[in-house]
Amino acid sequence: MSSIKGEKEDSNPKPLNPRDLYYNCITACSLNDEDIECLTECVTTYYEEVLEQ
């Protein structure tokens, strides 16, 4: 694999599938001892960023 292709993949990451997104948000909120508001904010923020692209 060439280094150019590797750089191209890094600059345009694939969006997470919903299962991975929720898992990442749940993990992050659990580590910080947060509640459902944290999970809601995490998921909302992710989808807002995806829609802006």
Euclidean distance between CA atoms 24 and 8, whole angstroms:
24
Please state the length of the chain: 53
pLDDT band at 13 (very low <50, low <70, confident <90, very high): low
Predicted TM-score of the model (pTM): 0.59
The pLDDT tens digits of the residues spanning 20-51 come to: 889 999 999 998 888 899 999 999 998 888 77
Tell which residue, 53, 46, 51, 12, has the closest CA to residue 26. Answer: 46
Q: What are the residue ranges of helices labelled H in the chain?
A: 3-11, 18-31, 36-52
